[in-house]
Structure 1
Amino acid sequence: MSQFVFSPPPSASLSVLDRTERFAVNRIFCVGRNYAAHAAEMGNEVDREAPFYFLKSPHAVLESGAVLPYPPGTDDLHHEIEMVVAIGAEGFRVAKDQAQSLVWGYGSGLDMTRRDLQAKAKSKGRPWDLAKNFEGAAVLSPIVQRNDALASDLPIRLSVNGQVRQDATLAELIWSVEDLISDLSHFYHLQPGDLIMTGTPAGVGAVVAGDVLEGGVEGLPQVRLTLGAAE
Structure 2
Amino acid sequence: MQLEQIIQFNEYPLSDTAFQQRCKQHLDEHGALVLPDFISAEALTKICQEGAHKKHLAYYSKDDHNVYLKDPDPDFADDHPRNQPVQSSKGCITDNQIAEDSPLRTLYDAETFRDFLATVLGEQGLYNYADPMSSINLHYADEGQELGWHFDNSSFAITLLIQSPEAGGSFEYVENLRDADRGEMNYDGVAEVLAGKRQVKTLQAGPGTLAMFRGRNALHRVTPVKGDKTRMLVVLAYNSEPGIALSESARLTFYGRL
> Which has a greater percent of strand?
1
Higher RCO (CA-CA < 8 Å; seq separation 6+): 1
Name the TM-score, length of structure 2 as normaliser: 0.22
> Which has a greater percent of helix?
2
Name the TM-score, length of structure 1 as normaliser: 0.24
